[in-house]
Structure formats: C-alpha cells, structure tokens
Amino acid sequence: NAGVTQTPKFRVLKTGQSMTLLCAQDMNHEYMYWYRQDPGMGLRLIHYSVGEGTTAKGEVPDGYNVSRLKKQNFLLGLESAAPSQTSVYFCASSYGVPLEAFFGQGTRLTVV
C-alpha cells in the first residue's frame, strides 16, 4: 500500500519556468490538500479539494493552480515560477472528517 506519493521529490527551476507537482493516493480518500512549508512559517495551505472535480483556495493560493480530474490525483501547477516559491511542498489526503490526514514525503523545490 503506497499511501500518498508525490513526484518529483526534488526539482530546481529557473525563474519563469513552469512545472506540475503530482500527488497520487491509493486510499480512496475524498479530501486532498497541498501545503508549502517554510522555516518559521509552519505548513500553509495552498489549495485543497473535497472531492473529484472540486478545488478551493487555501491560505496562500497566489501563483499556483490545481486540478482534481481523478479522485486519486491532485495536481499542483506553477505557471511562472518565482524565487519566493522555493519551498518544501507537501500533499496530504484524508478519507473524510474528522479522520487524520496522511502526508506524502514532500517535494523540495528550488527556484533560481
């Protein structure tokens, strides 16, 4: 049972480049979340989804887009990367409320 898988695990982008982070879960979870983790800031919610075909903005959505075309996948896109988007990105999923969320291993993204 893989749980929550994020790809890639590491990436270096140049300013202005685009990329997509993929999150896949095999637990049939309804809820999925994307966070970024920065020193001293904790985990901040970027976007989330409460089911296939739905997305909603979190605390820091600017500069990111998401899609949930399939229940098991939640994609996070950066259309034009900026150095301020250098961070560790975590995906999480949850079966429903109030059960706990399961996290992926994280993606370390550096924008130069």
Partner 1 sequence: AQKITQTQPGMFVQEKEAVTLDCTYDTSDQSYGLFWYKQPSSGEMIFLIYQGSYDEQNATEGRYSLNFQKARKSANLVISASQLGDSAMYFCAMRDPIYGGATNKLIFGTGTLLAVQP
Question: Is residue 60 near partner 1 by the rule CB under 8 A?
Answer: no
Question: Residue 62, interface with partner 1 (CB under 8 A)?
Answer: no
- Could you tell me the smallest distance in angstroms from the CB atom of residue 20 to partner 1? 21
User: Taking Cα atoms as reference points, which of 96, 93, 3 lies closest to residue 48?
Assistant: 93
**Cα(25)–Cα(34) distance, integer angstroms:** 13
What tokens appear for 105 in the block?
């291993």
Q: Work out how close the CB of 80 gets to partner 1 at its nearest, in angstroms, rounded to a whole number.
A: 26
10 binds partner 1 (CB under 8 A): no
Within 13 Å and on the Cβ side, how many CA atoms surround 17? 13
Name the minimum Å distance from CB 45 to partner 1.
6
**SS3 of residue 48 by DSSP:** strand
Q: Which of 15, 18, 59, 83 binds partner 1 (CB under 8 A)?
A: 59
* Size of site (CB under 8 A) for partner 1: 27
**69/93 Cα distance (integer angstroms):** 15
Judged by CB under 8 A, the residue of 6, 25, 55, 94 near partner 1 is 94
Kindly state whether residue 34 participates in binding partner 1, applying the rule CB under 8 A: no
